[in-house]
Amino acid sequence: MGLNGVYITLELAEGLCAKRIDSMIADVASKDIFSKLDEVDLKLRMKAKTHGHCTIKYMPAQSSVNDIRAYCKELEVKTGRKIDFLCVDYLDLIMPSGVKVSAENVFIKDKFVSEELRNLSKELNVLFVTASQLGRSAQDEIEFDHSHIAGGLSKIMTADNVFAIYTSRSMRERGKYQLQLLKTRNSGGVGSKIDLDYNPETLRIFDSSDGGEQPQRQSAPQPSGNDIMSRIKTASKIVEPEELSPLQKIKVDVKGSQLKALLGELKGN
């Protein structure tokens, strides 16, 4: 029946997050959500029959990992549904719960938060996804590396997989995004790039349609000799010459005699 998950937002309101997710699932532009409310509701109900549940929860910035842990366990008890994935938006707004760290020491703060979130994902046995901002040095860059992530290597060392999302003005106009693999713990994909398509109306990113194998055209069967002869026979028609009228014969004879006289005069001269 699909996966059940929790989306923790520490920045946007729950209603705005729900609107964006509904737009992606229903494939309806965000600006048309309320004008096409019945259509969106029908599509979401149809999806719910074969998919799991996603719960959106707003928490204030500077919340701790213990707050997230308490909410997830309370939700499992109330609904009776096991959480399969957890998404936190986003890591930079969380404070560590096990130790007091100065907000100015970003490296140490992110190190403790990353480790606590990883421990939480292991404790709940869920797929965990979060995000982080890039530093100022990455604004004019085309290819990213570990130094461009705000907070430094403390997040990179704890994560299993790290993806950087790149786009430019020209790419957005063409509806393109790019994933750059900065770290993959269990594969050799570091340095790889994945091109994706982007719908600016629904804010949905999906597999790119470019670069795929073009379907091979099937060549038409060659006609045999008998087929060619039969086509020639059916298409060819013998046209009988039309019988000239007496008037047309007289005109032809007159023009012919005049031509002979003209040629004789030329020879005489």
Q: What is the pLDDT of residues 201-256, one digit of tens each?
A: 888 888 877 543 333 333 445 555 555 556 555 554 555 555 555 555 555 555 56
pLDDT of residue 195: 87
Q: Are 17 and 203 in contact (CB under 8 A)?
A: no
pLDDT of residue 218: 39
pLDDT of residue 84: 92
Dist CA 183 CA 170 (whole Å)? 27
Q: Which of 143, 166, 146, 148 is nearest to 156 (CA)?
A: 146
Helix ranges restricted to H, the chain: 14-26, 37-48, 65-79, 106-124, 153-158, 169-173, 225-235, 246-268
pLDDT of residue 137: 62
Stretches in the chain below the pLDDT threshold 70: 1, 103, 135-141, 146-148, 150-152, 210-260, 262-263, 266-269
Instruction: Return the residue matching tokens 């007496």.
Output: 246
pLDDT of residue 244: 53
The token duo for 126 is 């869920």
In the chain, CATH 3.40.50.300 covers: 5-159
Pairing type for strands 5-9 and 85-89 reads: parallel
Find the largest Cα–Cα distance for the chain: 129
CATH of domain 5-159: 3.40.50.300
pTM for the full predicted model = 0.70
Q: Are 27 and 44 in contact (CB under 8 A)?
A: no
The token duo for 170 is 């020209």
Dist CA 126 CA 129 (whole Å)? 10
The token duo for 90 is 């986003």
Dist CA 176 CA 167 (whole Å)? 7
pLDDT of residue 78: 92
Q: Are 38 and 26 in contact (CB under 8 A)?
A: no
Pairing type for strands 127-130 and 85-89 reads: parallel
Amino acid at site 262: L
Q: Are 180 and 144 in contact (CB under 8 A)?
A: yes
